[in-house]
Structure 1
Amino acid sequence: MSLLTDSPSFYQTYSGPSNDRAASQMGKFCLVAAACALALAAGTTAGTHMSLWTSPVSTRAPTMAGLNGLSSVAGTIPSTGYAAPATYYPTQPEQSTGSLRSPAALRSTASASPLPSAMQWAWVAGLGCWSAVLAVATFWGKRQPVAIMTTTGEKAEGFGASHTSFYTSAQAKDSYATLDEILEAKMADEGVRGITKEVLDACVKITEALRVNLVTVADAQNSVFGDVQLGVDVIADDLMWDMAKSSKLVREAASEEEPVMVETSKEGRFTICWDPLDGSSIVDNNWAVGTIVGIWDKTTGMLGATGRDQVTSIVVLYGPRTTALVACDDGVYEFTCGEGNKWFASREKIQIKQESKIFSPANLRACQEDQGYNSLVSYWQENKYTLRYTGGLVPDVYQCFTKEMGVFANPTSKASPAKLRVAFEVAPFSLLVEKAGGKTSDATTGGSCLDIQINGVDQRTAGCFGSAAEVDRFNKMVLGK
């Protein structure tokens, strides 16, 4: 079954499977109709005769008034001195004369009753033949695929949300490479492969926790920022800490929930930072949320390093499915958590297009103070871009990889200061975006977010990520670069 994909036409033809089920149902209906027609033909003849012989007979003797007026098809019975048995008289009176008929008269009438007319026989036979032919044609005739949504219209220059490029471009395959197969071929460093698999194993546990736990306020509030923590926040963070503390590969770790670097193993190799559940403000809506992970080698550490020094980064999206973006040596790969919680490669070497018609404008309050940002948002609207914004960083930037286009903008203003954390959010996502051919901006100098030096665990910044042409437009209209 083909999916709607990019096409020169406004819509692409959907070629579904042959209409086997519909054909089977229609064929069965037609066979039943044919059988009913033949039964009707036989019943018409049999019923004509049998109905005349099966009428109930009265057990009461006739009255003299009835005898005086009695007549039959065979002749008139004398009314004087006649004493006929009671069983001669059926209960139904003759409708035309009110007289009663004897069994002899009934037999005479039955033998004289005509069979169904030629017109009736022709109608019944025709119905039976038509039903039988249609049944055969339906069962054994050539079946064509069902065509849905076909058009010859050309793609409009300014297209909207219904354009097929906003649907998935992923093609079904007979088989998919496993996580181990991709990492063996596309990630040369054995240690990086190992920590990647450990992170993804922890995210499988977070997936299961999100499915069975209610979204409620946590009993204990540990957030140093005074933010209200939810139970699922704490669970996700605990699962990440369990992974980090039990791993022989992790040297030190920090969580967005507690932005303090913690040494977990002196023999470990990697510094790992994570946002355990990005999107806490929308998780109670059952919207998509995610986990963001950045990983640095001990040779650079995280403090004093940049996002460009990461050995890999991982973003996991929890939605109807659980999927993960992983920065490999030659590009970005998407993995899907399938049956048995096994990861397989659902997209390989993702590329973000230079142009986009999707925009995600965060921090719209800044439009009141920043005329450049206000003009940019107006430009996107006037040129029929499609708004795709949830308020969650993970789904809003993740769509740049699935749609292969998009722009996420989060500038600052005096009333709306920077909120994005460099180590926990910006650096990991920026590595993925730029490895996939996209572009990033620090929304201050116009430079790449990967070049921001991380001087504090909780350091924050503005940012813009996505299709290169749209990030350039942001730099020009908002920053004047």
Structure 2
Amino acid sequence: MAAMTRAMPTLAVRASAGAAPRRAAAKASKAPVRAARDVRVQGGDAYGASGTSFYTTTEKQESYDSLDNVLDAKCADPEVRTVIKEQLDACADITEALRSALVTVEGSSNTFGDAQLSVDVIADQIMWDAVKSSAVVAFGASEEEPVVKPCNPNGRFTVCWDPLDGSSIVDNNWAVGTMIGIWSKETGSGDDGMLGATGRDQVTALIAIYGPRTTVLVGLDDGVYEFSYGCTPDGCQLPDGTFEPWICSRKQIKINPDSRIFSPANMRAGQEVAGYKKLMDYYIDNKYTLRYSGGLVPDVYQQFTKNMGIFTNPTSDKSPAKLRLAFEASPFGLLVEKAGGKTSDGVTGGSVLDVKITQVDQRTALCIGSANEVDRFNSFVLGK
């Protein structure tokens, strides 16, 4: 494999002295981390995709901070730093597994009766291995089997995850992801710190997206940061000649209050919820750009890359809530609100982060994204 891999450009990484890689250098070929210096072009004399699409405004940097540098500076709690690193390692392992695993039915089903795919099972096992081997994780819970299970009696955190969100699109080779919420035993009404708590009680959350590149959003003390995995086959080379698997590709990401992008889930509810149909008509009449894949991770993650967006998933009697509060809505809600966005629980119009978690498998409606667009949802759909 090494002989077949073409040379990748060196990417300078700012790292603390003596930093050492935490993972083996010999990895499968990884796409280089590039921050393209494109501009957002709308209308005018532009032709092709550039005339209708939203392009990144992120400019290429001469060097990027290492994971250790950023965590040391922006995460005061050493145990939170530890659990973040462990979960990033798990995301790296899932990345490698997705490169080689076929998408086939496993022959078993999860708690909800859904057929499990081979990649779901692999990703879930990687997550369980990570929490069971951790010195700081006391409990773990997977969306595949929503039961809180003990890990380390001396641990402090409860880690909840959806190991591979996007089972309906992963066979298309579309982007999928992992959602991770982390609570401390100090919150909530039970021993695990999650039941009886809210999403606002999370100590941090991580959202990984596996596309052409693997990138992970992480909530730190002063905002949301993005880390990119593997800029060369051996990792990212540090000034001392060693390699680092993760670099910080973006810092303190912000979601603007207004958006021209919309992602409408559960559109069936528009047949029963007049306000939702009215909201869809508003987006179309005002020429919003539709960006929707059917995967929660890519459809909400784009709000951090485009710095705008709105994801809507209301419910009705015939289209009940499917999103899990602890596994999906809470992790994304924490990150979106840290980035200046807003959330709605789809019922009261209040933040989804204020909904108490009373069951591991609790479901919720959700609207999440640019603040003014969430207000519009509350007005059109909920009459709030």
Q: TM-score, normalised by structure 2?
A: 0.84
1:187 corresponds to which of 66, 75, 79: 75
Q: Is 1:259–2:117 an aligned residue pair?
A: no
Greater relative contact order, per chain length (Cα 8 Å cut-off, separation 6+): 2
Return the letter of the residue paired with 2:335.
L
SS at match of 1:324: strand
Report how far residue 6 of structure 1 moved. 4.0
Q: Distance in 2 between matches of 1:207 and 1:418?
A: 29
Q: Distance in 1 between matches of 2:38 and 2:300?
A: 22
1:365 corresponds to which of 261, 268, 292: 268
1:463 corresponds to which of 353, 359, 366: 366
Q: Distance in 1 between matches of 2:291 and 2:37?
A: 21
Cα deviations by residue, 1:314-336 (Å, 9 ceiling, x for unpaired)? 00000000000000000000111
Q: Distance in 1 between matches of 2:363 and 2:318?
A: 16
Cα deviations by residue, 1:218-259 (Å, 9 ceiling, x for unpaired)? 13x140100010000000000000001111111001000000
Larger radius of gyration, structure 1 or 2?
Answer: 1
Q: Distance in 1 between matches of 2:149 and 2:181?
A: 15
Report how far residue 4 of structure 1 moved. 2.3
Q: Is 1:273–2:176 an aligned residue pair?
A: no
Q: Contact 2:259–2:308 (CA<8 Å) still a contact in 1?
A: yes
Q: Distance in 2 between matches of 1:191 and 1:225?
A: 34
Report how far residue 161 of structure 1 moved. 7.2
SS at match of 2:148: strand
Pick which of 318-327 and 164-173 moved more. Answer: 164-173
2:54 corresponds to which of 155, 166, 175: 166
Change (3 A) 1:382 1:405: same
Return the letter of the residue paired with 2:194.
M
Aligned counterpart, 2:137:
250
Aligned counterpart, 2:24:
none
Q: Contact 2:337–2:343 (CA<8 Å) still a contact in 1?
A: yes
Q: Distance in 1 between matches of 2:182 and 2:294?
A: 25
Aligned counterpart, 2:278:
375
Report how far residue 169 of structure 1 moved. 1.3
Aligned counterpart, 2:306:
403
Q: Is 1:321–2:213 an aligned residue pair?
A: yes
1:234 corresponds to which of 114, 121, 127: 121
Q: Distance in 1 between matches of 2:181 and 2:36?
A: 36
Cα deviations by residue, 1:287-315 (Å, 9 ceiling, x for unpaired)? 00000000001111100000000000000
The number of residue pairs the alignment matches comes to 334
Q: Contact 1:361–1:409 (CA<8 Å) still a contact in 2?
A: yes
Aligned counterpart, 1:454:
357
Cα deviations by residue, 1:48-76 (Å, 9 ceiling, x for unpaired)? xxxxxxxxxxxxxxxxxxxxxxxxxxxxx
Aligned counterpart, 2:110:
223
Cα deviations by residue, 1:382-429 (Å, 9 ceiling, x for unpaired)? 100000000000000000000000000000011100011000000000
When the two chains are superposed, the root-mean-square deviation of aligned CA atoms in Å is 1.8
Q: Distance in 1 between matches of 2:324 and 2:283?
A: 26
> What are the ranges of 5 or more consecutive residues in structure 1 without an aligned counterpart?
12-148, 151-159
Change (3 A) 1:232 1:255: same
Q: Distance in 2 between matches of 1:6 and 1:203?
A: 30
Change (3 A) 1:209 1:2: closer
Q: Distance in 2 between matches of 1:201 and 1:315?
A: 13
Aligned counterpart, 2:223:
331
Q: TM-score, normalised by structure 1?
A: 0.68
Aligned counterpart, 1:208:
96
1:303 corresponds to which of 188, 195, 208: 195
1:419 corresponds to which of 307, 319, 322: 322
Q: Distance in 2 between matches of 1:207 and 1:232?
A: 11
Cα deviations by residue, 1:157-188 (Å, 9 ceiling, x for unpaired)? xxx97457710111100100011111111110
Q: Distance in 2 between matches of 1:418 and 1:171?
A: 39
1:176 corresponds to which of 57, 64, 68: 64
Q: Distance in 2 between matches of 1:7 and 1:224?
A: 46
1:3 corresponds to which of 13, 18, 37: 37
Q: Contact 2:67–2:246 (CA<8 Å) still a contact in 1?
A: yes
Q: Distance in 2 between matches of 1:350 and 1:169?
A: 12
Q: Contact 1:273–1:424 (CA<8 Å) still a contact in 2?
A: yes
Return the letter of the residue paired with 1:469.
N
Aligned counterpart, 2:204:
312
Q: Distance in 1 between matches of 2:225 and 2:147?
A: 30
Identity of aligned residues (%): 63
Q: Is 1:474–2:377 an aligned residue pair?
A: yes
Q: Distance in 1 between matches of 2:53 and 2:257?
A: 14
Higher strand share: 2
Change (3 A) 1:325 1:2: closer
SS at match of 2:90: helix
Q: How does 1:86-235 map to 2 (within 5 A)?
A: 162=50, 166-219=54-107, 221-235=108-122
SS at match of 1:397: helix
Report how far residue 3 of structure 1 moved. 2.9
Q: Distance in 2 between matches of 1:3 and 1:183?
A: 26
Report how far residue 190 of structure 1 moved. 0.3
